[in-house]
Amino acid sequence: MLIPELQLRRDKIRVLMAQQNIDAAIISCNVNLLYTYGQVVSGYLYLPLNAPARLFLKRPNNITGEHVHAIRKPEQIIDLLKENGLAIPHTLMLEGDELAYTEYTRLAAMFPEATIVNGTPIIRQARSIKTEIEIIMFRRAAAAHAKAYAQIPSAYREGMTDAEFSIEIERLMRLEGCLGLFRVFGQSMEIFMGSVLAGDNAAAPSPYDFALGGQGLDPSLPGGLNGSLLQKGQSVMVDLGGNFNGYMCDMSRVFSIGKLTEEAYKAHQVCLEIQEKVASMAKPGVVCEELYNLAIDIVDKAGFADNFMGINQKAKFIGHGIGLEINEVPVLAPRVKQELELGMVFALEPKIVLPGVGPVGIENSWVVTADGVDKLTLCTEEIIEL
């Protein structure tokens, strides 16, 4: 990673720290280290407001440099700060929404005189506005993601289960360079590579806060595909995470086993209309809840409100920020007063679930430009018959 890019990212965090009179941050979660150091390491990036960052490193043991200090345990950081003439901070921020309680309190105890504040919202705010290089990374991921999705019809064989179909698509994604790992914010969220939902399984409620649920194959992972045979007249929605370089590109496409009902094609067009209208309204300064309300208006008028974003258990959002994790800020949801800003990247995913058919709709990843939004994930949006 180029130093100026890392400098830029660190300074984005510093600006927000300064607004809250925070003197220094300790960053030790993988995604935040990736953001501020350019790679995942096991250690601590110490980020003072007014001095260069320093890396206190446990592993790997092959990184060296002027501002890199090998340590075995975090308590060594204090002496190393003093030896290097750095002031002990008055107000220190730690990753309170991400670090485990015992790890947070261990780090806090190293600074008994300091006020400790939760830095996760600040770091997530900084991360929500992507740099030009991050947007390039997203474009690359989106191109690979779309290239894999374009091959999905070749993966289908009659008589497959949803699991068998998913496995062949996972393979296509991996062959295009997908790293597989699905990074998500929040300890209770988990998923394998994403979800492939066919027929009525798309309406099954799950514990996870993704757009749609699914029963899953096992109570230990109750989400996504459930092993049922793909059958004529069913729709299948493919929504696998596009992690090709750390950035979680997000994209859903719908396929059909034979023809679907007329209602299903109509519902799909409603989702495409929502996408078009929301995208044409979205630009810097537009409030997130207005985009959500616009979608609800359209789906209400079209008569699909009861089936929008699930049936028995509905997702209360139509889109979400994406970045190093799948669920970043902003969220396109009711009562979210946050405004879109230049450089934000989000997934927009209007989806309708029809009993006896399955899920229809669309999901693309978008970047907020100076005067609108630009679609990153370019691939046929109509329902493709398998």
The binding site for a second copy (CB under 8 A) comprises 1, 28-30, 34, 38-43, 58-62, 94, 96-105, 118, 120, 163-164, 167-168, 170-171, 174-175, 177, 179-181, 183, 187-188, 190-193, 204-209, 213, 217-222, 243, 245-246, 312-313, 324
Considering the complex, what minimum distance in angstroms separates the CB of residue 217 from a second copy? 6
DSSP assignment of 296-347 equals HHHHHHHT-GGGBT-SSS--S-SEEE-SSSSSEEEEE-TT--PBP-TTBEEE
Considering the complex, what minimum distance in angstroms separates the CB of residue 28 from a second copy? 7
Considering the complex, what minimum distance in angstroms separates the CB of residue 59 from a second copy? 5
- Complex with a second copy: residue 277 or 314, whichever CB lies closer: 314
Helix or strand holding residue 255 (H, E): strand 253-256
Query: Could you give the CA distance from residue 237 to residue 202 in angstroms, rounded to a whole number?
Result: 9
Q: How many CB atoms lie within 10 A of CB 203?
A: 21
147 Cβ partners below 8 Å, 6+ apart? 176
Enter the tokens of residue 185.
């914010």
Considering the complex, what minimum distance in angstroms separates the CB of residue 174 from a second copy? 4
- Complex with a second copy: residue 23 or 95, whichever CB lies closer: 95
DSSP state of 228: P
- Complex with a second copy: residue 58 or 283, whichever CB lies closer: 58
Considering the complex, what minimum distance in angstroms separates the CB of residue 170 from a second copy? 7
- Complex with a second copy: residue 165 or 260, whichever CB lies closer: 165
Considering the complex, what minimum distance in angstroms separates the CB of residue 373 from a second copy? 25
Edge-to-edge strands, sheet with 54-59: 68-70, 54-59, 42-48, 24-27, 91-94, 115-118
- Complex with a second copy: residue 218 or 262, whichever CB lies closer: 218
Query: Could you give the CA distance from residue 77 to residue 86 in angstroms, rounded to a whole number?
Result: 11
231 Cβ partners below 8 Å, 6+ apart? 199, 257
- Complex with a second copy: residue 222 or 284, whichever CB lies closer: 222
Rg (CA), the chain: 22
Query: Could you give the CA distance from residue 347 to residue 365 in angstroms, rounded to a whole number?
Result: 4
Considering the complex, what minimum distance in angstroms separates the CB of residue 354 from a second copy? 19
Query: Could you give the CA distance from residue 73 to residue 81 in angstroms, rounded to a whole number?
Result: 14
Considering the complex, what minimum distance in angstroms separates the CB of residue 333 from a second copy? 15
- Complex with a second copy: residue 246 or 350, whichever CB lies closer: 246
Helix or strand holding residue 197 (H, E): strand 194-198
- Complex with a second copy: residue 221 or 281, whichever CB lies closer: 221
